[in-house]
Amino acid sequence: MIGHDTLSAGERAYLDECDAFLSARLDPELVERMDRSEVQYPSDFIRELGEQHYLGAAVPEAEGGGGRSFMEEALLNERVGYHGSAAIACARTFTAHIGWILAKYGTDHLKESYLRPMLRGEKITAQALTEPGAGSDMAGIQTRAVRDGDRYIVNGEKRFLDGAHTADFISCAVRTDDGDDPRQILSVMMVDTDQTGYEILQTHDDWLGFRGLGSAWVRFTDVEVPVTNLLGEEGNGWQYLSEQLLLERTYATRAQLGQAIRALEIAATYAEERETFGEKLKERQWASFKVAEAATRIDAALLLNNRAARMLDEGLWAESKMEVAMAKKFGVEAAWQTVDDAMQIVGGIAYTKAYPIERIMRDVRASRFTAGSTEMMALIIQRRAFDRLRDPNFRKELVGREVEGSPVARELPGRV
């Protein structure tokens, strides 16, 4: 298999275990029915994932999770993506990253009422960040939670919420302060969806891919949330969401790479069988070189993803922002390019439902703007890249006046 050469024996064993479970239990028919939006959030399957500790695999065992590393959780996501459904991968990543943040910052009440039932697959959560006026720009969040004694009163709208139809509760990013500093204005709270004032305004069942999630645009009108449902400290939401997003970016990208590997496998195998003008496609250099390029690209993306996951495992959260952004940007673009290559190799039949390539293409496309778009990842990378690339010996006063000498030091420090 592509991309697994650098795994430890234990990681490979876990990957094989996940693979065996998903081969046996994830019915391709279920994947197709989700894609047709006939099934939303398959609760039986999600419970089964919970029983196997595949929900919150990297959440500590003491908190009801699987006690795995972030690297192993990434491998699990890859296999879920490979076996069939971005939708199910997405359902899983919520429990993975919201679960982890609940385990780290939640009170006993939040753990008993939300975390543990969620990890058992008994309660479904949705994640509410995006608003009609605030997508990439999290600081623009306008949904307000105003404290009133021992409760908050929440008002606002959120859209594109996966699972909003079926969710029992929503991990909701709200504004608790009118200031300008994003690091102080946001809070995160668990909002029960059976509360008066929670309303679904529009469903997104017919969007391009990622179907079967019961996604929706919702409104909160004077929804009451007990103060005990606040995660951590009021005003610390930016920090919790930033940590959560590092996990989501790593896991969700891995799921897309799993899907891309599946598409590439189909295309490569097809190219060995299909003949045109009396010759196998594999014998045509354009097709075989596309396979070579895609295999290399996917391997590079997996290695970047491994690095990001391993940095998180080492506790390098603040330091890993650029590496996670690189893994996300390169990973989802690699997945998209690879699926496009796979479709080109297979030709017209790949545009039908005979092979899952067309569904994978629709599912993968969203990942280029979800969980932080490719452009937002570039913004994160360039900021840190400029800091790391700055040459302290560069003589900036000579820029534009190079006739007077080279700005680049010829005698580098340490050179004899």
Ligand X SMILES: Cc1cc2nc3c(=O)[nH]c(=O)nc-3n(C[C@H](O)[C@H](O)[C@H](O)COP(=O)(O)OP(=O)(O)OC[C@H]3O[C@@H](n4cnc5c(N)ncnc54)[C@H](O)[C@@H]3O)c2cc1C
Cβ 141 vs Cβ 175: under 8 Å: yes
Establish if 161 lies at the interface with ligand X (CB under 6 A). Answer: yes
Q: Is residue 202 part of the contact set for ligand X (CB under 6 A)?
A: no
Q: Which of 76, 87, 91, 129 binds ligand X (CB under 6 A)?
A: 129
Shortest distance in whole angstroms from residue 90 CB to ligand X: 7
Comparing CB distances to ligand X, the nearer of 49 and 141 is 141
Q: Does 259 interact with ligand X (rule: CB under 6 A)?
A: no
Candidates 275, 375, 391, 402; binder of ligand X (CB under 6 A) is: 375
340 contacts ligand X (rule: CB under 6 A) = no
Binding span for ligand X by CB under 6 A among 22-30, 76-84, 372-380, 381-389: 372-380
Q: Give helix then strand counts, H and E, for the chain.
A: 13, 9
**128 makes contact with ligand X (CB under 6 A):** yes
Alpha helices (H) in 222-356, listed in sequence order = 237-273, 285-313, 321-346
Nearest-angstrom CA–CA distance, 126 and 230: 16
190 binds ligand X (CB under 6 A): no
Alpha-carbon gap, residue 204 to 218, rounded angstroms: 11
Among 191, 376, 380, 381, binds ligand X (CB under 6 A): 376
Q: What is the CB-side half-sphere exposure of residue 361 using CA atoms within 13 A? A: 17
Phi/psi at 225 (5° precision) = -125, 120
CA distance 193 to 173: 15
Part of the chain binding ligand X (CB under 6 A), chosen from 130-138, 194-202, 353-361, 407-415: 130-138
What end-to-end distance do the CA atoms of the chain give, in Å?
Answer: 48
Interior angle at CA 187, CA 186 and CA 188, nearest 5: 135
Min dist CB 274 to ligand X, Å, is 32
Q: Is 402 helix (H, G, I), strand (E, B) or coil?
A: helix
Q: Say whether residue 160 binds ligand X (CB under 6 A).
A: yes
Instruction: Residue count of the chain, please give it.
Output: 416
Scanning 154-162, 288-296, 301-309, 350-358 for contacts with ligand X by CB under 6 A, the matching segment is: 154-162
Task: Give CA–CA dist 55/280, Å, rounded.
Answer: 43
* Strand ranges (E), 46-143: 125-128
Residue closest to ligand X (Cβ): 135
Q: Is 127 in the site for ligand X (CB under 6 A)?
A: yes
Question: Smaller CB distance to ligand X: residue 92 or 282?
Answer: 92
Please report how close the Cβ of residue 398 comes to ligand X at its closest, in angstroms.
Answer: 32
Q: How far is the CB of 322 from ligand X (least distance, A)?
A: 17
| Residue numbers at the binding site for ligand X (CB under 6 A) | 127-130, 135-136, 160-162, 210, 366, 369-370, 373, 375-376, 379
